[in-house]
A and B are shown apart, each in its own frame.
Chain A
């Protein structure tokens, strides 16, 4: 191993590179402006290895197994909370994060629910879980007064039956779909008891035959191409689908709505694994992203809001002015957050989810 390393180091020297230092980042798919990655390498001279995932479960398994080799990962708040308890992360050294002052207290207050004192993580982006529709096709099927701003669109079997032939995707994320089903049933979305799960199951089972697929990333392309009409998905992803369709000029028009019954608000947090090979460079990366202009560039690209107050002056009007991304005071009232499932309830939840997905 040592010889191999000195060999690589030798090669690096020959190539005239300053250092063979590298940082490995594991982030969600379609979640950054890739120019930022090049900019980071150019500015710091650290080689950046950037991998992507599309489900919290995959990331969590890597974190719990340990030895993932990543220096920076981006779990969602509820998952982060559990992983902190399992000892998967190291505390941030805030003296190395000179851009800490850029962060937005409104968001930091909320993320403290998952990470008390924000000791282990900083917010990358946040968003809502809502409904994306192909406006033309949905109007064609359900008429112009289709309830596209309501959960009734996806949880009322009468609507779903008609939409099925056109294609409906749901996120493969039980911790987000069950709160939505509870909100539709008029219950507290954060309930985890047996009665609540049974109610959520009833709502979901009634519409499951009309769901073409439960998947957490395919719907971006499927919506944009016109392959499907409706998706329960993440705000920015659906807005990306909207833009891809507009760019392709294929006549597909996509709209995103946070449902009127309430929408889940989630937070993706950057954290450093306990066994990160290069925590020093991980802090450098975090600080780079926390730079106001860099963070703004990322948000402008992916259409998600961020937890960086200073970045807001660099956001384009399309992002900061869109209430689907930066909700106004009234819309903010309509958003709810949830807490993680304890292990026993988690098993009941997954079992129910399998039943919803497969009918067994």
Chain B
């Protein structure tokens, strides 16, 4: 009995320690005020003072930083621009990833493990190094431009690095496996006899794809889209390495509040809002998963 309770409690303890407690800390800081101290915000919770001190602490908290966020159009513009970049990247990743997943699922059975391996292989190299190598590929003196000039396709090097295009390339490249894997797993389970039936009933191959394959892989597509969209929204590394001065993303704004302004309270408020924005797709994702499980079960 004890063991069972423990097993059930374990994930909850995990969630509590690694999600709820950190969130509570961030929320607490977002209600504090900036100060020139270590750490750089006020008030500090002093538990030795007993209940009176805790009460005193609570009364000093306020929503000033959240009000501040509405006073400057930078913040909502950054949220909006992040949403746009995340949505567009997800769409591109889907368009690129679906055919790959489809080809993998259609490949001969003995090839599939190898193909799957090839998709996962890049994860063996550090994410940072992979993004960094794109700088070498995309720079004006880089591999891509050298190649294009070499074959005579262009005469002047293309400026790709440090532009929005490079950010999209980086995001699509990095998150592609997260799109391919769930779609592949949905397509692989697909019963071939359904396609045969569709063709028997007069569907062309293309119509059969649109009427049978695509709807049946919907679960994989949705899962893939969320797996790409959610982390992209808060992405910081890719835009800061590949992007130029034009790229406005909330991850960068957060960095600036935290590092340049040393304003932990406002940075925390930005993070809390980002979390609230993310909760919507996350809840939708959970629902979708649940529905699928029910449909399968």
Partners in one complex: yes
How many chain A residues touch B (CB < 8 A): the figure is 39
Q: Cβ of A351 and Cβ of B139 under 8 Å apart? A: no
How many chain B residues touch A (CB < 8 A): the figure is 29
Q: Cβ of A86 and Cβ of B245 under 8 Å apart? A: no
Whether B260 sits at the interface, judged by CB under 8 Å, is yes
- B residues 243-276 near A (Cβ < 8 Å) are 244-248, 253, 256, 258-263
Q: Cβ of A64 and Cβ of B261 under 8 Å apart? A: no
Q: Cβ of A360 and Cβ of B262 under 8 Å apart? A: no
Contact with A along B227-253 (1 / 0, CB 8 A): 000000000000000001111100001
Least CB distance from A220 to B in Å reads: 14
Q: Cβ of B73 and Cβ of A66 under 8 Å apart? A: no
Whether B46 sits at the interface, judged by CB under 8 Å, is no
Q: Cβ of A358 and Cβ of B262 under 8 Å apart? A: no
Contact with B along A320-360 (1 / 0, CB 8 A): 00000000000000000000000100110011011101111
Whether B37 sits at the interface, judged by CB under 8 Å, is yes
Q: Cβ of B245 and Cβ of A57 under 8 Å apart? A: no
Tell me the bound Cα distance from A65 to B162 in angstroms: 31
Q: Cβ of B38 and Cβ of A347 under 8 Å apart? A: no
Q: Cβ of B244 and Cβ of A64 under 8 Å apart? A: no
Chain B residue nearest in CB terms to A88: B38
Residue A60 contacts which of B244, B248, B262 (CB distance < 8 angstroms)? B262
Whether A58 sits at the interface, judged by CB under 8 Å, is yes
Least CB distance from A31 to B in Å reads: 20
Whether B291 sits at the interface, judged by CB under 8 Å, is no
Tell me the bound Cα distance from A58 to B77 in angstroms: 25
Please name all residues of chain A whose beta carbon is closer than 8 Å to the beta carbon of B247 when the two chains form the complex: 358
Q: Cβ of A86 and Cβ of B37 under 8 Å apart? A: yes
With contacts A212-B162, A225-B141, A359-B246 taken as known, whether A64 is within 8 angstroms of B72 at the C-beta atoms is: no
With contacts A358-B246, A358-B247 taken as known, whether A65 is within 8 angstroms of B39 at the C-beta atoms is: yes
Chain B residue nearest in CB terms to A358: B248
Kindly list 12 other residue pairs between chains A and B, CB separation below 8 angstroms, not including A58-B259, A167-B140, A227-B141: A61-B262, A88-B38, A167-B159, A174-B260, A225-B139, A347-B263, A350-B260, A353-B256, A353-B260, A354-B256, A358-B247, A358-B248
A selection of 26 A-B contacts at a CB cut-off of 8 Å is: A55-B259, A57-B260, A61-B258, A61-B259, A64-B37, A64-B38, A85-B36, A86-B38, A165-B159, A211-B245, A212-B159, A212-B162, A213-B244, A225-B139, A225-B141, A227-B139, A343-B34, A346-B261, A346-B262, A351-B72, A351-B74, A354-B74, A354-B256, A357-B245, A358-B247, A360-B248
